[in-house]
Copies of this chain bind each other. A is one copy, B any other.
Amino acid sequence: MDIIDYYKWRYATKKFNPHKKIPISDIEIIKESIRLAPTSYGLQLFKVIIIENQLKKEALRKFSYNQSQVSDASHLFIFCNSTKVFEKDIDSYIENKSLSQEIPIEKNKGYGDFLKKTLLNKSSKEISEWTKNQLYIALTHLMTACASLKIDSCPIEGFDTSKYNDFLDIDKKSLSAGVVAAIGYRSETDNSQYDKKVRKATKDIFEID
């Protein structure tokens, strides 16, 4: 299959088979796809909380407009973006870059200083908008990796952010739940799997200049 086939195969699954679990080997591939997602300046200012526990999924469903995907999916991936950049975030990145690329850390100091000057004085609102955008890159890596493994997914924006943050107790870590993916296997009774994909015509999306 080529990439366009994956994009065609994927659909926002409305009803999962609650009995079918994703094997751990596939979960590891999906995690790797997220880990490889590019982020601004390479800083990876996000965490992903993976929920498999049934009681927790049911609790979260209540904060997600009662969408059945949240409790019926095999796994919930909650993408959480940083709401603040700390000096240590930049220091760890510079350390990791120096180690990975075998460059003396002093040579990367100037870049670290530039990042600090650029990012440390931004407001929490500015940082959150920017880091939240980047979550959607990681989310898309997950969706495409899932499609390549014939795993279904449903991206979810319809949830109560503060209730999620309270439940996950992540405010204190300067994180906020930005977007969620429910992943698993479609139920045979999910009629939306038979719906034709609805997309605008190419000419209504692109302008060539």
Q: Which of A4-12, A14-22, A66-74 touches B? A: A4-12
A143 to B100, CA, bound (A): 23
User: Once the chains bind, are B197 and A36 in contact (CB under 8 Å)?
Assistant: yes
Answer whether residue A199 sits at the interface, using C-beta atoms and an 8 A cutoff: yes
A179 to B140, CA, bound (A): 16
Taken together, the copies of this chain in the complex come to 2
Answer whether residue A186 sits at the interface, using C-beta atoms and an 8 A cutoff: no
User: Once the chains bind, are B32 and A4 in contact (CB under 8 Å)?
Assistant: yes
User: Once the chains bind, are A38 and B53 in contact (CB under 8 Å)?
Assistant: no
| Contact indicator per residue, chain A 28-48, by CB within 8 Å of chain B (1) or not (0) | 010111111110101010111
| Contact indicator per residue, chain A 134-149, by CB within 8 Å of chain B (1) or not (0) | 1111011101110010
Q: Which of B10, B140, B157, B208 contacts A52 (CB 8 A)?
A: B208
Q: Say how far A28's CB is from chain B's closest CB, in angstroms.
A: 8
Answer whether residue A195 sits at the interface, using C-beta atoms and an 8 A cutoff: yes
User: Once the chains bind, are B133 and A3 in contact (CB under 8 Å)?
Assistant: no
User: Once the chains bind, are B97 and A44 in contact (CB under 8 Å)?
Assistant: no
Which residues does chain B contribute within 8 Å of A102, judged by CB atoms?
Answer: 196
User: Once the chains bind, are A38 and B50 in contact (CB under 8 Å)?
Assistant: no
User: Once the chains bind, are A145 and B52 in contact (CB under 8 Å)?
Assistant: no
Answer whether residue A114 sits at the interface, using C-beta atoms and an 8 A cutoff: no
A150 to B31, CA, bound (A): 24
Answer whether residue A51 sits at the interface, using C-beta atoms and an 8 A cutoff: yes
Known A35-B200, A49-B207, A205-B48; contact A136-B141, beta-carbon cutoff 8 A:
no
